Amino acid sequence: MIIPAIDLIDGTVVRLYQGRYDTTTEYAFSPLNLRNQYAQDGSDWLHIVDLSGAKDATKRQLALLTELMTSAPLHIQVGGGVRSEQDVIDLLDAGAGRVVIGSLAIRNPELVQSWVRKFGGEQIVLALDVAINEHGQKTLPSHGWIEQSTITLEQVLDGYIAAGAIHILCTDISKDGTLSGANVAMYQELSANYPQVQWQASGGIGSLDDIRALIGSGVAGVILGRSLLEGKFSLKEAIACWQNG
């Protein structure tokens, strides 16, 4: 499945480079128009990230997120600064099909596992994004890609799978925003080792060939951000590529 992404800061569509707020690119798209265009082009799901809320809980864009999810013409998974059970409830009540939980899933896995059990694996997406270290380990930066950690992806997976997690969005941070291709080998390894997970690949997609490279890797979904915003190819072309190879 191809999943277009919209990242938002203060109501503006943006992209960060490797998760850094000091490398923000703004795009002159209306979030609502972009949502409608992606639905019209055939997408079943949309991925929305509230970067304002991720950085500062007092700046959560709940009103805008609610507007985007109310009577939406497609399913929406949304995240960015989800820090409490009430945040999960608020987003689900606002119309989210799935709530994406990132940094907290690494900092407090017991709490987030309890949410997976309470709300069900279909309503939670874990954003477990990795920085590959010099030893080839998939480490998990714990504060929105800003702070390094020694925790590895594999160390947290078993607990989440036992809690009923189904959907995991995994980004190789070094690929994010680069348009240089996805880390295909990583997704092949993860899909082979954890076949019960519906993996979402994110980061680095810059061409239709990059999408083709992920066909057969085992991933269930591919997140597309900058490549669509900058017209590297159309969403219709991406969907056709994924479906037809």
- Residue 142 pLDDT more than 70? no
Pick 141 or 88 by higher pLDDT: 88
The number of domains in the chain is 1
Q: What is the mean pLDDT of the chain?
A: 93
Q: Across residues 31-35, what is the average pLDDT?
A: 97
pLDDT digits (tens, 9 = 90+) for 176-220: 878 889 999 999 999 999 999 999 999 999 999 999 999 999 999
Residues 6+ apart with CB under 8 A from 134: none
pLDDT band at 148 (very low <50, low <70, confident <90, very high): low
pLDDT digits (tens, 9 = 90+) for 154-174: 999 999 999 999 999 999 988
Kindly report the CATH number assigned to the domain that includes residue 159.
3.20.20.70
**Structure confidence at residue 205 (pLDDT):** 96
**Structure confidence at residue 207 (pLDDT):** 97
**Residue range(s) defining the domain that contains residue 72:** 2-244
50 a catalytic residue: no
41 a catalytic residue: no
**Structure confidence at residue 191 (pLDDT):** 98
- Catalytic one of 129, 172, 176, 210: 129
